[in-house]
Structure 1
Amino acid sequence: MTGNRLKEHQSFETFWPYYLQEHAKPATRTMHYIGTSLVVAIAAYAVVTASWPWLLAMPLAGYFFAWLAHWRIEKNRPATFTYPLWSLFADFKMWGLWLTGKLKPELQKAGIVDP
Structure 2
Amino acid sequence: MSATLPHRRYASFSDFYPAYLSEHSHRANRQLHFLGSTLALLSLLLLLVTHQWWWIAVAVFCGYGFAWVGHFMVERNQPATFRHPLYSFMGDWVMYWQMLTGQVSF
Q: How does 1:10-89 map to 2 (within 5 A)?
A: 10-89=11-90
2:4–2:23 contact (8 Å) kept in structure 1: no
Q: Select the structure that is richer in helix.
A: 1
The sequence identity of aligned pairs, in percent, is 37
What is the CA–CA distance in structure 1 between the aligned matches of 2:98 and 2:6, rounded to whole Å?
29
Offset at residue 61 of structure 1 (A)? 0.9
Aligned residue identity for 1:5: H
TM-score by length of 1: 0.82
Secondary structure at 2:8 match in 1: helix
Computed over aligned residues only, the root mean square deviation of the Cα atoms, in angstroms, reads 1.8
1:65-110 Cα offsets, whole Å, 9 max, x none, are 1111101111100000001011011101111111122225xxxxxx
List alignment gaps of at least 5 residues for structure 1. Answer: 105-113
What is the CA–CA distance in structure 2 between the aligned matches of 1:23 and 1:3, rounded to whole Å?
11
1:11-30 Cα offsets, whole Å, 9 max, x none, are 11111000000000111100
1:16-53 Cα offsets, whole Å, 9 max, x none, are 00000000011110000011001100000110122222
Aligned residues: 104
Aligned match of 1:111: none
Offset at residue 6 of structure 1 (A)? 2.5
